[in-house]
Amino acid sequence: MRLSREQYLAVQRIYYPGFTYAGAAEPLSILALAILLAVTPRATTAFWLVALALSAAVLTHLMYWVLVAPVNRVWLRGETLAAPARRFFGATREASATDWTSLRDRWEWSHVFRAATSIMSFLLLVAAALSPVR
């Protein structure tokens, strides 16, 4: 939060290559949780804990597309991107370039919220794994 606009934008451009490829883990985790839910006996506590974990994971992913992705497009304007990154960051409409500190705050806080829902999903999954089998 103490970086100047130029420094902050330079750092943002460093993030995108790794997160473009590593970002596949998030939808894969949703798929894995959906499969786990499908094979978990319905009349158990574990089923409902897995269902809540899946809901939290979906919320985390939804927050990415609604809060983070539009800001990423602003940060990466003018960058020469590899073909997969161009497809990924060009998937939805262009975000408007408003005050950069508002965008920075939105980006930073959305990651705090996403971390909270990811932790919640993980803890619910651990609780499901530790719940007694009946």
pLDDT(83) > 80: no
Q: Using one digit for the tens of pLDDT, what is the confidence trace for 1-19?
A: 788 888 887 777 777 767 7
Residue 95: the pLDDT is: 44
Residue 91: the pLDDT is: 44
Nearest to 125 by CA among 40, 65, 59, 62: 40
Residue 105: the pLDDT is: 93
H/E stretch holding 107 reads helix 100-130
Residues 6+ apart with CB under 8 A from 1: 104, 108
Q: Using one digit for the tens of pLDDT, what is the confidence trace for 102-113?
A: 999 999 999 999
Q: Using one digit for the tens of pLDDT, what is the confidence trace for 33-64?
A: 999 999 999 999 999 999 999 999 999 999 99
CB 69 within 8 A of CB 92: yes
Q: What is the mean pLDDT of the chain?
A: 85
Indicate the pTM of the whole model. Answer: 0.81
Q: What does DSSP assign to residue 80?
A: -
The one-letter code for the residue type at 37 is L
Counting residues of the chain whose pLDDT is more than 70, the rounded percentage is 82
Q: Which runs of E-coded beta strand occur in 43-116?
A: none
- What is the C-alpha to C-alpha distance for residues 18 and 40, in angstroms, rounded to an integer? 34
CB 68 within 8 A of CB 111: yes
Q: Which two tokens stand for residue 25?
A: 């883990």
Q: Which two tokens stand for residue 84?
A: 């997969």
- What is the C-alpha to C-alpha distance for residues 45 and 30, in angstroms, rounded to an integer? 20
Residue 93: the pLDDT is: 43
